[in-house]
Amino acid sequence: MSLFRIGGIPGMIESRDGSWPQAITHVDSYALDDPATRELILGARGLIISGGADHLLLAKYRDELSNFVRNGSRVLISGHVSIPFIEGLARWSKLEFRNPSDVRPQPLASHPIWHGVDYQELEYRTGVPGAHSYQELERIGVAGFYGRGYHVNLPEGASVITGIGALALPLDYAYRLGAGEVVVHGGLDLEGVCDEHYSSKNLGPNLVSWLSAATLLEGALA
């Protein structure tokens, strides 16, 4: 059963090393307007919603997307949620920051997607090829690419996976909805964070494994 990725730039993850991108089928947000395609997408175990997806379009199918999760499927949402297009979604709020420590990500709760990821390696990004020590990244890198905001009014029972800054404001969180689960990353597409030179390379395979392990309720679309 395929995993689908809605929105974003086609081909972005296909260029990543490893076999995990081959498990993901990219579709345009507006493909949901076609009943047959929508049924196919909402019959999958897992769904990735890119930060580039049209939230107004997704909001048209809020009930169907919510039922998709309630029936046991899993969803990863990246980006800045402005419209709660799935039941329980919290809105993203911009963080006012002045230095790298204000946007420093830190682990607050474990989750299979982040297994084996060193959060220190998520702090900086650089266009200089190759692997670099943390000290070198502090010198040549730019902080804040992993996330520059936080979520307010989290759904009841939500688990904050990643906090940001000194107050550990909720950047990444997860919550159950019916028999399924929603994970939200409040930054650039999480699958695009993968880098073969760092422990973030685990995010892609972990994500595919987590999505694929969803258990659909009997009678749900398959």
Q: Which residues contact 43 (CB under 8 A, 6 or more apart)?
A: 1, 221, 222
Closest residue by Cα to residue 163 from 104, 205, 97, 79 = 104
Distance of CA 193 to the CA centre of its chain: 10
Domains of the chain: 3-212 (3.40.50.880)
In one-letter notation, the amino acid at residue 26 is: H
Please report the pLDDT score of residue 222 as a whole number.
41
**Percent share of the chain, pLDDT over 70:** 93
User: Which residues lie closer than 8 Å to 95 by C-beta, 6 or more apart?
Assistant: 102, 103, 148, 149, 150, 164, 165, 169
For the residues 18-47, what does the mean pLDDT come to? 93
Cα-Cα end-to-end distance for the chain = 8
pLDDT of 192 strictly over 80? yes
Q: For the chain, give me the number of helices (H) and strands (E)?
A: 5, 12
Contact 21, 14 (CB under 8 A): yes
pLDDT surpassing 70 at residue 13:
no
Predicted confidence at residue 2, as pLDDT, reads 80
Share above pLDDT 90 across residues of the chain, in percent, rounded to a whole number: 82
Residue-level pLDDT at 219: 60
Kindly indicate the confidence band of residue 220, based on its pLDDT and cuts at 50, 70 and 90: low
The whole-number pLDDT of residue 17 equals 60
Helix (H) or strand (E) holding 38: helix 35-41
Each residue's pLDDT tens digit, 164-179: 999 999 999 999 999 9
Instruction: Supply the pLDDT for residue 10.
Output: 60
pLDDT of residue 8: 77
Banded pLDDT at 14 (limits 50, 70, 90):
low
Reported as a single tens digit per residue, the pLDDT across 126-141 is 889 889 998 999 899 8
Query: How far is Cα 6 from Cα 52, in angstroms, rounded to an integer?
Result: 8
Residue 185: C-alpha distances to residues 39, 96, 153, 191 (Å):
25, 18, 15, 10
Note the pTM of the prediction, 2 decimals.
0.93
Predicted local distance difference test score (pLDDT) of residue 19: 86
Mean of the per-residue pLDDT values of the chain: 92
Q: In whole angstroms, what is the distance from residue 119 CA to residue 81 CA? A: 23
